[in-house]
Structure formats: C-alpha cells, structure tokens
Amino acid sequence: MTAGEKSAGNGHAGRKPSSRRRAKTTEASAKATQDASAAPAAKATTTAAANVAATNPATVPDSADLLRQMMRIRHFEERCAELYSATKIRGFVHLCIGEEAVAVGEISALAPGDAVVSTYREHGHALARGLSMDSVMAEMFGKVTGCSRGRGGSMHLFDASRRFYGGNAIVAGGLPLAVGLALADKMNGRANVTACIFGDGAMAEGEFHESANLAALWKLPVLFCCENNRYAMGTALAREHAQTDLATRAASYGMIAWAVDGMDAEAVAEAARRAVAQVRGGGGPCFLELRTYRFRAHSMYDPDRYREKSEIEQWKQSDPIPALTEKLKSRGTLTDADLSRWTAEIEAEIEAAVTAAEEADVEPVADLTRYVTSPAVGSGGPT
Amino acid sequence: MTRPTAGTTAQGTTQAGAPTDPGGTRTTYREALREAHRDALTRDPRVFLMGEDVGRYGGSFAVSLGLLEEFGPERIRDAPLSESAFTGAGIGAALGGMRPIVEIMTVNFSLLALDQILNNAATLLHMSGGQLAVPLVIRMTTGAGRQVAAQHSHSLEGWYAHIPGLRVLAPATLQDARGMLWPALQDPDPVLIFEHGSLYNLAGTLPADAAEVDITRAAVRRTGTDITLITYGGSLGKALTAADALAEEGISAEVIDLRVLRPLDDETLLKSVRSTHRVVIIDEAWRTGSLSAEIAARIAEQAFYDLDAPIERVCAAEVPTPYAKHLEDAALPQPADIVAAARRAVAPDG
C-alpha cells in the first residue's frame, strides 16, 4: 500500500498536522497536567513543524493495520497466559494487555534502520517491530529457535537484524544503552532514531535523569517513550513521584516533551510520527509520555492487591481495541468480515507458533557457556 | 567528589619487564598510556574516548592531556558526571559499531556504573543468544597509597574479575601500559583496564617501536626456585622489592605478574608453583571473598600435592582505607609483610 492510499483510505485527511493529542480526562489532575505540558508542547509545534517539512517524515500508518497488530498482540499474550498456567512458559512474564496502542503506535513511526530499546514488558514491541511470532513464542518456551536461543525468555527478546536491542529487565537500565546507540548513529552521520521505551517507574531512577541529560546535552537522536501505566509494579504514580506530570519533568532537560492518550493508537502513532521527524531532523531528543493502563497484573506472580477492581474496570472502558474498531467501523473502513478474517488468521498464526515451539529443539547443554565471550579472541584462554 | 591527584609515590625506577634498551624512549606509565590512546585514535576512526574531564582538563590523572587538541571534542568527549549513563552509552555505541574507550576516574566511582557493566556489557552477548557483542574498553584507576582515603582508594578489580563475559587487565609495567589498549580494542567483548594510581609516574624506557602485547597470559617478572610470589598492578613493585630482600637471605623468589585478572592464566601460575612448591599471593584488595582467595583455591585444587607449605596471602587490612599516612601504610601490603610471609612458607617450622 502506498502512502497516498493510506492517507486516502483511513480518514486521516482531516487531521491537521499540528493538532496536538492530549491525554484523556480520565485523571483528576488532567486539567492541571495539560496546562503544565502546554509550554513544551507549544514549542514542539513550532520547532517540529519546520523539521517535519524538511525531513519527509514517515507516512501516516494505516489505522486498520494498527488495529490488526493490536489484535495480534492481544491474542498472542492471552495465549501466553494460558501457556503459563499450563507451565509451558515459566519465569517472569509481563503482559502488555491494555497497552497495545502504545506499542503499535510507537513502532509504526520507525524506519527499518532505527533502533528499539525496550523493557521486560516488550512482547508487543517485538511483534510490532517484526520479530516473528514463531521466534518470540519459541523464546518463551526456552527453545533454541527462540529469538535469543532460549537464553533470554519473555523479558529478553533480541533481534539484531531488526535493531531490536531487548528486553532490558533492569528498570531504566536500557536508557544509557539507547543514548549510546544514538551517539554511534550521530557520530557516523546516519539519520537513524533510537526509540527508547520505558515505564513511569523508570523516571524515578537516576539512570533516566543521567540519560535524559546526556541525550539532550549532546543533541542525540533518541525518542524517549515513557509508557505511563500508572503503576511501578504495585506502587501508584502519585505514591512514587513528587511531580506526576512526567512530560513536564522531561521537558526540564531542554527536550520537547508532551503527553499523549496512550489508549488511542492513532494518537500515539501520530505523536510518534511527529516526534520521530523532529528527532531525525537533528534537533535532539524528544519525549512522549504515553498515558496508558495495564489490564492484567504486573506479572504472572502478582496478586494485584494494590488497586481497586473498579479502577481496572473503568480503564477497560477505554480498551484501545474496541475503541479503534468502533472508530473504523463508523468511518466505513472496517467490516465484521474483516475482523473475523483477521481473528482466524491470528489464531492460526498463534497455533502454528505454539506447535513449532513445542516441537523445536532445546539448546544442547554442551553449549551452555557458548556466547559468554565471542568465538574469536575472548573464548580461547582459561576460564 | 574530590578530584584525585596524580600519583606521587611511584617507584621512579625502571621496573622488571620494562626493557633497558639504551636506544629506547624515556617515558612514564602515564605517557605510555597516552601514546597508546594516540596510536589507537590514529589507527581506527571508530575509537573515541569518553569520560569525566578527559578533554579540557586533560584527564583527572593527565593521561589524555593534549588529546583534545589533537583529535577534537567529538573523539575526546567530556561527559557529565553520570557514570552509569556514559558507561552505558559506551556500551550502546559499541553495539552501534564504534570502539569506545570509557574512562572512569576511580574504581570506587565505577560502582555507579556497575549496573551497566554487569547487567549489560557482560551479559548482552549471552542473553541475546550470541547476537550482540560489546567491543568496549573501560579504563579506571584503582588502588591506594596516595592518602586519598576510603572513597578513592579501594582495589575492587577482583569484583569485576568475578563476572563472566569480561576480560580484566591490570598493566603494571610501561610495556603493558603502552601495549594493552590496542589488543583490548580488538577484543570483540568488553575489557576493563585497571591502572593503579601509584604507577602513573613510574619512569623508564620503552623501545621506540613498542606496540601491542599479549592480553591472555601472566608474566614471570623475575625467575626463582624457592618460592613463587603472585601479584599484579600496584603490588608488583613491592613484590620485586621483597624478592630482592629475600635474595639477600638466600631465598630465590619467582615473581609472577598476573596481568590478566580474568580469565586467569592458571597454566603460568601452576607451572611456577610446581617448580617452587611454595606460594605467597599479594593483593591490595581485601582478603575475604577475593581474587587472592580464588587463586589460592585454584592452586589448592590443581597443585595441592605439589605444595610443601600452606599457601600464604598478603592482603589489605579489612578496613576502609584510612587517610593518615601511617594508618594507610599499615593497611596495605608492604614489602616487609611479603618477606615475612615468604619466610614462613620456606621454613614453616622455623
């Protein structure tokens, strides 16, 4: 599908490029928050607009494709939860159910040469980035056909060919890495962007502040994507941050930062597209606060005692998948037949991935110490 | 944070291992390190140096003095005081195809970057199933002896030697100061280089064409027949001094410089032990749970029946390194302690 077809076919034509997406008013402090983020966002509008024009940004993604990808991630993770209960998958597994709009929206703005650094809640990012479902499922099964040869598991999905650098399970530990990837791109004159994905909990870590400062100081091409799902494991945002307007805090480092409704895939995609264009234009890093919510517990071990059921139910009213489904139906660009077909295709893909993972070999134990060091210089000597 | 001052207690004499070629160049450990950087920066455009005050200040120990003017601010990068971010950025840049040299002022400060070194640099290759090698060099100062007290003086390189996936080097001679950096940069995996703060003023001569050295083996710095003294880094000079004193007593000591703290070169150690049958391990780090303990264990595991006496260790006192000179001296291994340990090993009943 060409760019022209995309913009003609999905009803985006009426959206003004400078329109700014704001968080839904699902929070008591939403008004104040929006006001607080207005200053950096206003700056974004002027500065970004010039660069958007100059750098031929990524085309507007096909909304139907965003929806299909969200469905694919949702079904995949629901199957993962079943497989976990069936003890086929073990270890820590963190599901992004409820947060799919963030994953597909962010990744949709990236070019093949761009890099992604993610967290332990990265199934959605990996699938959206193009890691095959087979390789991700096999990794969860601990098989040699997994994208990390069974050495990483759910939290550590890697694919160098897609510049997908994990899967970092130390909160904020991936941020310095992203800064360095961007530094290498800049030093080599490559017009790549590094998307650095992390959660609200990471903004309490020193590594966030060190990395934000370094990226802004050196004007590095990093897109900081803060997936604010309102809980750092079990600690609510207001219980861990003195200033809960995360975009405003990021803006204090001198980078353009704004908050986005993370339950709206189109809004995330549009914000990411504009931010990527800004970053690629050489103006330094951008920061997106993507306001979202996870419907499931933090991990499979989490009894979810720290939040009210009613809160979860309330957020489920904003489920990004039905929301976009209804939107596309009302635009006349989606039919029930499309949905049925996609569901069947996705279920078939998942079952094929499960079957392949079941049947795949495991890494021989003899290869346990393989890759501790590289085969050339490092592996020769004594241990 | 206090800026460390350049070392003032260097031996000032040519150390074993540094050639005495009269046609060589008179130099110091610091200048040899600088020349190694100059050489690497010249040979490989992917190499750059990044750290606190490496540029305008000239390096907190003046190792990089003048390199900013020569190579420019893109390649001699002054980083903010954020050890975790710039060390992690070095890892990311290595993943992105560069060959970064990250300088951390002291090993005590490196604890602020320990997450990046352990959880990323040392781990990514294995955790990614072999996809992501990290060709990064991290240099830092280690060790005591300069009256800079308990937050600038410790010898924590043994902690790093605990970590699979890292190569850990400790240059103790001018040759190694000059020659370890380039092969470290050729290693596809992360390499940590520990420079003992008392060595920067170490002076001697190097051949004009001095270049790379092997970074896989320990070195015998002095041959002997009665006892093996195993050490590295800032304690090498002390071990050699002790060997001189022992020679006057008729005890012939072999001195081994580990050079590579991980992976340990068991072969060289065991060969010597099997020849002398007695061992003293000298390590400026604390004794408990240490590199010296690891070496002792390996000797006990692999050469137990070759030993004629219990393994001796001379380590730092288990205290935070104190400021006052007499206390600091008392806390560190000294040649007299090494001599006493060697005497015990040679004449256990005497």
CATH number, residue A65: 3.40.50.970
CB within 8 Å: A160 and B132: yes
Whether A376 is covered by a domain: the verdict is no
- Closest residue by Cα to residue B133 from B191, B192, B188, B193: B188
What residues have CB less than 8 Å from B302, skipping those under 6 apart? B266, B270
Name the residue of chain B whose CA is nearest to A383's CA: B263
Handedness of CA A113, A119, A120, A121 (dihedral sign): negative
Beta bridge mates, B99 = B47
CB within 8 Å: A183 and B96: yes
Active-site residue identified among B31, B83, B103, B195 = B83
> What are the pLDDT digits (tens) for B5-43?
333 333 333 344 444 555 689 999 999 999 999 999 999
Q: Which of A166, A182, A214 sits opposite B86 (nearest CB)?
A: A214
Select from A149, A163, A177 the residue whose CB has the most chain B CBs within 10 Å, as the one to mutate to test that interface: A177
Cα→Cα distances B65→A345, B53, B71, B76, B140, Å: 63, 10, 11, 10, 16
Residues of A in contact with B218 (CB under 8 A): none
| CA angle centred on A325, ends A320 and A329, rounded to 5° | 150
What residues have CB less than 8 Å from B219, skipping those under 6 apart? B17, B256, B257, B259, B268
Q: Which of A148, A173, A380 sits opposite B120 (nearest CB)?
A: A173
Q: Which of B85, B96, B116 sits opposite A185 (nearest CB)?
A: B96
Whether A14 is covered by a domain: the verdict is no
Active-site residue identified among B31, B37, B103, B152 = B152
Q: Which of A156, A158, A211 sits opposite B85 (nearest CB)?
A: A211
1.10.10.60, 3.40.50.920, 3.40.50.150, 2.115.10.20: which CATH number matches B219-346?
3.40.50.920
Select from B52, B123, B131, B301 the residue whose CB has the most chain A CBs within 10 Å, as the one to mutate to test that interface: B131
Q: For residue A345, give its domain range.
A: 28-294+309-358
Tell me, letter by letter, the H, E, C secondary structure of chain B.
CCCCCCCCCCCCCCCCCCCCCCCCEEEEHHHHHHHHHHHHHHHCCCEEEEECCCCCCCCCCCCCCCHHHHHCCCCEEECCCCHHHHHHHHHHHHHCCCEEEEEEEEHHHHHHHHHHHHHHHCCHHHHCCCCCCCCCEEEEEECCCCCCHHHCCCCCHHHHCCCCCCEEECCCCHHHHHHCHHHHHHCCCCEEEEEEHHHCCCEEEECCCCCCCCCCCCEEEECCCCEEEEECHHHHHHHHHHHHHHHHCCCCEEEEECCEEECCCHHHHHHHHHHHCCEEEEEEEECCCCHHHHHHHHHHHHHHHHCCCCCEEEEECCCCCCCCHHHHHHHCCCHHHHHHHHHHHHCCCC
The pLDDT value given to residue B12: 34
User: Three-state DSSP class for A168?
Assistant: strand
CB within 8 Å: A207 and B124: no
**Is the CB of residue A133 less than 8 Å from the CB of residue A127?**
yes
CA dihedral B186, B188, B194, B199 (to 10 degrees): 0
SS3 content of chain A, % helix, strand, coil (to 5): 50, 10, 40
Beta bridge mates, B103 = B51, B139
Residues of A in contact with B299 (CB under 8 A): none
pTM over 0.90: no
Select from B52, B114, B127, B213 the residue whose CB has the most chain A CBs within 10 Å, as the one to mutate to test that interface: B127
CB within 8 Å: B97 and A158: no
Q: Known catalytic residue: B154?
A: no
Q: Is A150 on the interface with B (CB under 8 A)?
A: yes
Helix or strand holding residue A198 (H, E): strand A194-199
Residues of A in contact with B265 (CB under 8 A): 381-382
Residues of A in contact with B86 (CB under 8 A): 176, 214
CB within 8 Å: B129 and A146: yes
Helix or strand holding residue A290 (H, E): strand A286-291
CATH superfamily of B25-206: Thiamin diphosphate (ThDP)-binding fold, Pyr/PP domains (3.40.50.970)
Residues of A in contact with B126 (CB under 8 A): 151, 371-372
The pLDDT value given to residue A60: 76
The pLDDT value given to residue B207: 87
Residues of A in contact with B71 (CB under 8 A): none
Residue with tokens 């990996």: A126
Q: Known catalytic residue: B152?
A: yes
Q: For residues B256 and B263, what is the distance between their CA atoms, to the nearest angstrom? A: 16
Q: For residues B227 and B348, what is the distance between their CA atoms, to the nearest angstrom? A: 13
CA dihedral B309, B311, B312, B316 (to 10 degrees): -170
Residues of B in contact with A185 (CB under 8 A): 96
Residue with tokens 């160098």: A160
Side chain identity, residue A346: I
Q: For residues B233 and B141, what is the distance between their CA atoms, to the nearest angstrom? A: 11
Question: Which tokens in the block code for residue B36?
Answer: 């190694």
For chain B, residues with pLDDT lower than 70 are 1-23, 348-350
CB within 8 Å: A160 and B74: no
Structural domain count, chain A? 1
DSSP assignments along A92-133, one per residue: -----TT-HHHHHHHHHT--TT-EEEEESS-HHHHHHHT--H
The pLDDT value given to residue A61: 80
Question: Which tokens in the block code for residue A148?
Answer: 């990390």
CB within 8 Å: A149 and B84: no
Residues of A in contact with B189 (CB under 8 A): 373-374, 377-378
Beta bridge mates, A224 = A196, A287
CB within 8 Å: B132 and A159: no
Whether A379 is covered by a domain: the verdict is no
End-to-end CA distance of chain B: 49
Q: Is A234 on the interface with B (CB under 8 A)?
A: no
**Is the CB of residue A96 less than 8 Å from the CB of residue A187?**
no
Q: For residues B40 and B184, what is the distance between their CA atoms, to the nearest angstrom? A: 10
Side chain identity, residue B32: A
pLDDT in tens, chain A (383 residues): 333 333 333 333 333 333 333 333 333 333 333 333 333 333 333 333 333 333 444 577 899 999 999 999 999 999 999 999 999 999 999 999 999 999 999 999 999 999 999 999 999 999 999 999 999 999 999 999 999 999 999 999 999 999 999 999 999 999 999 999 999 999 999 999 999 999 999 999 999 999 999 999 999 999 999 999 999 999 999 999 999 999 999 999 999 999 999 999 999 999 999 999 999 999 999 999 999 999 999 998 888 999 999 999 999 999 999 999 999 999 999 999 999 999 999 999 999 999 999 999 999 999 999 999 998 644 444 44
User: Mind telling me how many Å the CA of B250 is from chain A's nearest CA?
Assistant: 34
Whether A382 is covered by a domain: the verdict is no
Whether A324 is covered by a domain: the verdict is yes
